[in-house]
Structure 1
Amino acid sequence: MLSDKSAQTVRATLPVVGAAIGEITGSFYGRLFEAHPELLRDLFNRGNQADGSQRQALAGSIAAFATALVEHPDRRPDAMLARIAHKHASLGVTPDQYQVVHTHLFAAIVEVLGDAVTPEVAAAWDEVYWLMANALIAVEARLYEESGTRGERRPYAVAARTAETADVATFLLRPADGGPVPAHQPGQYVSVQVELPDGARQIRQYSLSGQPDGGLRITVKKVAGDPAGEVSNHLHQHVDEGATLLVSAPFGDVRLADGDRPVLLASAGIGCTPIVGMLTHLAETGATRRVIAVHGDRQESAHAFRAEYAQLVDKLPNGEAHVWYERPEGEWPAARTGLVDLAALGVPADTVAYLCGPLPFMRAVRTQLLAAGVPAADIHYEVFGPDLWLGQD
């Protein structure tokens, strides 16, 4: 943990650094990509850079880590570190890249804060950085060892492609070399790398949406807007049965835990992908625990896995499904029209909950679960893209 001297300095300067952290991370990424354009081309998500969400997530993680060090010096924020480490391992981040980040991050700090960065201040924040970096390096080394990889991706053949909705497609992937599929747990994801027309080899992470024998299943929503999703649109437009994709080993810290306690699986929109994977596992293992499956969507035609979702819940002796549509296309109960509302479901206080969907949805469901007496430690969430929840909840 932080030395006493550095803790005092960080505590005193945290308001100043925190107020400028957005400007600092903006300068950092500019410097980093000028010196190493290959990182933007082949590692970082260019869409998240364009809309600023990656800068916001980095700023939030640094501020949250530093705050935790000074407010709770006796413990490390391992949950936050594990989430970041799994993302990094999926991308293939290497220890030497932390030194590259350090060089450009501290240059950005000096650029933004100027004379306020005295040798004492620089030393204290250097200690913060390396405490975080070395902790991540250690966790990532363990994840690489467990996966039997160093973050490299393996060729997988697209064995089948299925349209779930107008803008959602499922890809069944099998190892191109005919070898075994790596072990994985319900809730985890893989990273997929594709080569785009400009030569960039962009990487995106997709939840595993099922457990087919001898393969992996991912489900991809085509991301519209400005910027549009580069990889999702490429997959929809150019990848069909017979194509080959480079796929990482499975990673992810949000994993369905076995047990007898009631479990609530709550999703909205394309957030159903890891939840369907969890339901598949529960159905295949003959789970008898109470399973409360909750989903919210725009309308029936936008609901990916609508039929499979119902079929999986029907296989569970103590399973129940509750679906809300904001704008139903046919006859639909008024009590299930609009946004997800857990009030009438009787969620037990000893429930373990898993959430996936847009941040406003997850915040609303989490608030309802806390009101029902579910401890915060038993509410787990998966975020698609940069984790903007850090430091905001």
Structure 2
Amino acid sequence: MALTPSQIDIVKSTAVVLKDHGETITRIFYANMLAAHPELKNLFSLRNQATGAQQAALGASVLAYASYIDDLPRLTHAVERIAHKHASLFVRPEQYAIVGEHLVGAFAQVLGDALTPDVADAWKAAYAQLAAVFIAREAQLHATPGAWHDWRDFTIVRKEDVSDGVVSFYLAPADHAPLPAFLPGQYVSLQIPIPELAGLLQSRQYSLSAAPGEPGAYRVTVKLEPETAGADPADVKSLAAGSIAGIVGNRLHARYRVGDTVQLSAPHGEFVFDASKMAPDAHIVLLSAGVGATPLLSMLDAIQANPAPVGATPRPVTWAHAARHANAVCYGQHVRQAAADANADVTAKVFLSNVGDTDREGVDYDYKGRFDVAKLVADKILPLEKPEAEYFLCGPKDWMIQVRDDLKANSVNEDKIHLELFSTGDV
């Protein structure tokens, strides 16, 4: 049932309250919901719960929904991104009712008498409307040809060092059934048990780092996270409290070998290179930092795997990557080889924060220092003269936002800038 005009006005009027009390509300929401439904702990990151990232992100999402409840098309991209993530975690329709109950309950606990029956009813209706949107969209995603509807066992068939602290895992389905195609840039959710915590399950999203078409296996590339200062990774209390960073990725590095089993979702994600929606000669710009290179590598390899017809101009690709040092450049040699292909039109540039004595300019790096759009502009590396060019950014969130702003300052249309965000705490 659609919200009434009065209910829309009520929800919008609570935006100020949510801005002031949002994190308190979401902190109480998670505590109450997970106490009543401990099975839902498998859906949420212990680390993000501990740092407050989960609560802060949910608060921001609820605030955005309240603010634009009368202009929902403004939220289309966010809803699509969240729906893909929910589908990758196999969030079930009945779980939305649990979330709604405890979200409104947290409102009541924090706001007290200010949550009148009319306000409570308006928020129940608003949440029901949002839940219906997600449930319908996620059902469509699960109906994608080849998709599966619960966690699926995969076997590690190959483990490959990529760069300093970065490892690729080749994962084949344990049932040997065919794998569906995916769009370059998509990710899978990968789930493992945490035996020390009574079999609690934890999952993370990892981009598929090879082009579609890898026979019989998916490839994900995983970064080793620095140890958390003052926390013992083997301490059960620290694990349970979410004090340990990299609880999934670091275990994959240290404990998982060829022949071991992990669980995967089908590919999801809206950060994609879809050649069918672009002109065949549209310039593609790939900008990455650190392990953010992984989805862009899938895009580059997909373009290379589908060359232009004989006599046609190859699609131009520009890649610029930022790394701490030469040994940390993710698949750097692979990208350099693509740039050296006489039949391709690939330009590759590398920024190194720390240049070693033996590092060679033009071979190991092109620019000293942090990633700088201004340097790329000055050297005419970016196709600013081509308004149809598409820009794909992947790296730390703050880095992506800064690069996006720098591109916009150089007259790149925001609609042409695509960011990869693995957000937490979404409704």
Superposition TM-score, scaled by structure 2 size: 0.86
User: Aligned residue pairs: how many?
Assistant: 386
Aligned to 2:157: 159
- State the shift of 1:225 in Å: 3.8
Aligned to 2:251: 234
Aligned to 2:345: 318
**What do the CA deviations read for 1:204-241 (whole angstroms, capped 9, x no partner)?**
11100003222110001112243221111111111111
Q: What is the distance in 1 between the residues matched to 2:340 and 2:143? A: 38
Distance 1:341 1:347, change over 3 A: farther
**Amino acid corresponding to residue 43 of structure 1 in structure 2:** L
Range with greater deviation from structure 2 (103-112 or 304-313): 304-313
Give the 3-state SS of the residue equivalent to 1:291 in structure 2. Answer: strand
8 Å contact kept, 1:283–1:313: no
Choose which of 256, 270, 277 in structure 2 pairs with 1:253.
270
**What do the CA deviations read for 1:180-220 (whole angstroms, capped 9, x no partner)?**
11211100011111112222121111100003222110001
Aligned to 2:283: 262
- State the shift of 1:351 in Å: 1.7
8 Å contact kept, 1:69–1:76: no
- Determine if the alignment matches structure 1 residue 377 to structure 2 residue 394: no
Distance 1:51 1:293, change over 3 A: same
Aligned to 2:324: 298
Q: What is the distance in 2 between the residues matched to 1:39 and 1:280? A: 38
**What do the CA deviations read for 1:34-76 (whole angstroms, capped 9, x no partner)?**
1111211x22111111111111111111111221224x36x35
Aligned to 1:364: 402
- Determine if the alignment matches structure 1 residue 16 to structure 2 residue 17: yes
8 Å contact kept, 2:318–2:382: no
**Amino acid corresponding to residue 232 of structure 1 in structure 2:** G
Q: What is the distance in 2 between the residues matched to 1:280 and 1:325? A: 23
Q: What is the distance in 2 between the residues matched to 1:240 and 1:385? A: 29
Aligned to 1:338: 369
Q: Which runs of 4+ in 1 moved over 4 A?
A: 147-150
Q: What is the distance in 2 between the residues matched to 1:369 and 1:147? A: 37
Question: What stretches of structure 2 of length at least 5 have no aligned partner?
Answer: 229-243, 309-313
Q: What is the distance in 2 between the residues matched to 1:174 and 1:197? A: 23
Aligned to 2:238: none
Matches for 1:71-220 after TM superposition, within 5 Å = 72=71, 75=73, 77-149=75-147, 151-198=149-196, 199-211=199-211, 212-220=214-222
Range with greater deviation from structure 2 (354-363 or 7-16): 7-16
8 Å contact kept, 1:207–1:273: yes
- Determine if the alignment matches structure 1 residue 278 to structure 2 residue 299: yes
8 Å contact kept, 1:189–1:206: yes
Aligned to 2:234: none
- State the shift of 1:358 in Å: 0.5
Q: What is the distance in 2 between the residues matched to 1:387 and 1:284? A: 37
Q: What is the distance in 2 between the residues matched to 1:81 and 1:184? A: 20
Question: What stretches of structure 1 of length at least 5 have no aligned partner?
Answer: none
Distance 1:147 1:21, change over 3 A: farther
Give the 3-state SS of the residue equivalent to 1:328 in structure 2. Answer: coil
Aligned residues: CA RMSD:
2.0
8 Å contact kept, 2:57–2:423: no
Aligned to 2:224: 222
**Amino acid corresponding to residue 243 of structure 1 in structure 2:** D
Distance 1:335 1:321, change over 3 A: closer
- Percentage identity across aligned positions? 37
- State the shift of 1:138 in Å: 0.8
Q: What is the distance in 2 between the residues matched to 1:4 and 1:269? A: 48
Q: What is the distance in 1 between the residues matched to 2:148 and 2:124? A: 27
Superposition TM-score, scaled by structure 1 size: 0.93
Q: What is the distance in 1 between the residues matched to 2:6 and 2:227? A: 48
- State the shift of 1:370 in Å: 0.9
